[in-house]
Amino acid sequence: MMTDYDFMLNEDQIELRNLVREFAEKEVRPTCRIAEKDAIVPEDLVKTAYEMGLHLVTVPEEYGGLGLDNFTYAVIREELARGDAGFASRVFGFGFEPLNIAGTEEQKKWAADIMVNGGIMAFGLTESVSGSNAGAMVTTARKVGDDYVINGGKTFITNGDCADLITIFAVTDKEKGTKGGITAFLLPKDTLGFTVGEHEDKMGIRCVHTNSLFFDDMVLPSKYRLGEEGQGYQIAMKILDNSRPCTAASAVGIAQAALDEAVPYAKERVVFGKPIWKHEGIGFLLADMEIQTQAARQMVWGACKSADAGIINKKLIASAKCFAGDTAVFVTTNAVQVLGGNGYSREYPVEKLMRDAKIYQIFEGTNQIQRVVISGQLCR
């Protein structure tokens, strides 16, 4: 299982990478290729992944997790997404980052206990009326005694139907907006007044469900508030800064999976008396696919290494997320082109990879938003 970049990994990272790669290749990919047709989440494989501890990668060791650094997490997330990106999102969820960033000691122990016992966290920020403009959310939280009464809803929430704990955000002071008017909360799944809608019939990443959430006079005690009142928007942005590099690793995994399909095909398919890779139109296309995949991987790893060094570089994070998403779309689209008519057929896997790739230009901040961040950081 040697790769071009093994020299950048230590022995433990290589061993863990190989373990996840074998699981992804032998079990995840073949199962999910069938399951995704009907948007089925293969829960038996989720159980296996949980037994491997993969849902605990961001939970600190002192709370019973693996406590992996961002770089190691990115390495194994790429491998699992190489098997199936939707399944990777189902297994990893949104991790423990909300607690690492803003949780109290009591909240961390409580949330970690849920996750160690097989639970998963989701992230509830997006609303149908706000989208990329998260500060325009309309979900409200009104303080009543020692409780908050929350009304509104969220949309496009990954793992919304299976999460045991969801980080949500609501307006507590409309006049203050993003500068002190939004508050974060931890929402247990069995809270009265909370309901989950049907999962979306998505184009890609169909082995993870995406749902709308509804809050109807939902009461949350103050102990479930994450951070201080009014800090919610800043907490949300910090969570996204932490999550984007490893989410981008999934995009790299998709691109690598497409290359894994396109290269053998180009070596075997003969046109005009020679394998198609020997025609420059295809050979150079494969080269460009490899160049962008390698570059995306290094950008993702650079952003992760920066975070592990305690440096949250917004420009680097946005660049990595944006480039990896664009790369996934570029590489998968061209993999379909390399396979020609076969690439367009569901009998071959590259059309699925193309469908899976597109979301990485959209969620956790569209690539247009990433470019806003990058230009803002350049010109401030």
Residue numbers annotated as active site: 364
- Euclidean distance between CA atoms 210 and 360, whole angstroms: 14
Q: Provide the 3-class DSSP secondary structure of residue 347.
A: coil
Task: Say if strands 182-188 and 147-158 run parallel, antiparallel, or are unpaired.
Answer: unpaired
Q: What are phi and psi of 230, to 5 degrees?
A: 95, -5
- HSE, CB side, 13 Å, CA atoms: give it for residue 272: 5
CA distance to 133, 141, 233, per residue, from 128 (Å) = 10, 18, 17
**Residues β-bridged to residue 151:** 140
Cβ-contact 130, 137 below 8 angstroms: yes
DSSP letters spanning 258-289:
HHHHHHHHHHH-EETTEEGGGSHHHHHHHHHH
Residue with tokens 């849920």: 114
Mapping DSSP onto H, E and C, the string for 58-81 reads: CCCHHHCCCCCCHHHHHHHHHHHH
Residue with tokens 């706000």: 130
Angle (nearest 5°) at CA 246 between 285 and 8: 70
Q: What are phi and psi of 122, to 5 degrees?
A: -125, 170
Cβ-contact 302, 316 below 8 angstroms: yes
Q: What are phi and psi of 152, to 5 degrees?
A: 135, -145
Task: Say if strands 165-171 and 194-196 run parallel, antiparallel, or are unpaired.
Answer: unpaired
- Euclidean distance between CA atoms 318 and 65, whole angstroms: 28
